[in-house]
Amino acid sequence: MKTIYCISGLGADERAFSRLKINGYKLVNLPWLLPIVNETIEQYAKRMSEGITDENPVFMGLSFGGMMSIEIAKLLPVDKIILISSIKSASELPFWMKGAGRLRLNKLFSMQSYKILEPIQNRFLGITDAEEVEMVRKYRKNAPVVYTNWAINEVLNWNNNWQPPVLFHIHGDNDKMFPIKRVSPTHIVKGGGHFMIMNKAAEISSLINEII
């Protein structure tokens, strides 16, 4: 059985891929590492790539995980990359993220998640059921602050304009995190929000099976 290396996003762990049904492939989570002080995204990608054992691997990246899969693909040949609810380049970052990065707002204000803000954050993510709410809540509670602060900074300041030769991009037309008006996906999921990998898993699975 072939392998797809899965990289989760900021705000979820490997459980985000748990509802996908991909024929003939096993899904292997590539875990996030604790960043080293002043580590660049390129240096981090190099460390993360050491967990890959297959030649010409297939990557599936969710949100920030899609960005990281592109960074890893700069370092080693890949068969294909499948992005879900993600972006391919800095030009697809929403303006508010670019502005926050330039103004270094993430350095000025705490990136800690507060329970009172969870309903607003969940609505922004497009979370729809109790299982998703609980998964994201546990992630927020357990995610190391040093990783969260590093990851948010890398998202806001991502400078990439390179793409691997074989890339597929699945995106929802109701994604509030990365609005579709700024991205150019290869596959559009009608009504899909940022967390559609779980609440539209059957449709996502069907698209991935077509792609591979």
pLDDT value of position 116: 47
Q: Regarding predicted confidence, which is higher, 13 or 79?
A: 79
Q: Count the residues in the chain.
A: 212
- Give the model confidence (pLDDT) of 97-156 as tens digits: 877 666 565 554 444 555 545 666 667 677 777 777 777 777 677 778 888 889 889 999
Q: Which range marks the domain in which residue 33 is found?
A: 2-211
CA dihedral over 150, 152, 156, 161, signed as positive or negative? positive
CATH number at residue 123: 3.40.50.1820
Whole-angstrom distance, CA of residue 155 vs CA of residue 2 = 30
pLDDT at 73: 97
Q: Could you tell me what percentage of the chain is helix, strand and coil, using 3-state DSSP and rounding each to the nearest 5?
A: 45, 15, 40
Cut 0.85: pTM above it: yes
Q: Mean pLDDT, the chain, as a whole number?
A: 87
Domain count, the chain: 1
